[in-house]
Homo-oligomer: A and B are copies of this chain.
């Protein structure tokens, strides 16, 4: 059987059992985009403006809702409107990391009510498999999907080896899990997507240990599915829309190169 990495996103969408993943692959195909924007901005106005500007070029908007200093319920409504307008999914990068009973409350409740609006969220499995069960109790009835943090992009990170393997094992066993945060394809046992942070057109890093890899490395060579780009697209002196287009093209070309000649 061919690797999932050798199939088109369209084909994988057709064959996938999870409605949310079907939708995601359909969006990717329609928009010819495997680009996710990491929207790490700290005001509502900035977040909405950024989402509206990059919206046409991305398949997934990745948020850190808890860094927005003037968050309110209206922000969520307007994000949902932008998601509908521009045809993208919302991924709240919450990195849940507590016991099952606690993450249920954090995911479904509080001020943010993440499960009500984020199509996708993620978790560390360090608390054990109960974290997946707790999140699934809240998110599954709403048609949401979960990514496991099988690897990270920061220097000296400890999600490696047996720990990464354990993520893969749990992902295969739990149908609420739709994929991974990581740098590569992890399994052929079922079609679990990989989203990769720390992607840049130029390899470099920041002062707090973030490290960057190129789309060719991540998509063509490693078989990951979606690149997550943040500071490469927006920031001082950057033409945000132009950079988003550039990354979309780079990601899509890397994907076409992976498929090879027709």
Contacts and interface: CB of A to CB of B under 8 A. Distances in A.
B97 A97 contact: yes
A29 interface: no
A12 interface: no
Interface residues of A, number: 49
Q: Is the interface of A mostly helix, strand, loop or mixed?
A: loop
Nearest to A162: B158
Nearest to A155: B128
A45 to B, nearest CB: 15
Interface string A155-193: 111110001001000000000000000000000000000
A130 B156 CA distance: 8
A44 to B, nearest CB: 11
Interface stretch (A76-84, A105-113, A217-225, A232-240): A105-113
A222 B111 CA distance: 38
Interface of A: 40, 42, 64-69, 71, 93, 95, 97-102, 104-106, 109-112, 124-131, 133-134, 149, 152-159, 163, 166, 206, 208-210
Given A69-B109, A163-B163, 18 more contacts: A42-B105, A42-B110, A64-B106, A66-B106, A66-B111, A67-B105, A67-B110, A100-B209, A101-B210, A127-B157, A127-B158, A127-B209, A129-B209, A130-B154, A130-B156, A130-B208, A133-B209, A158-B166
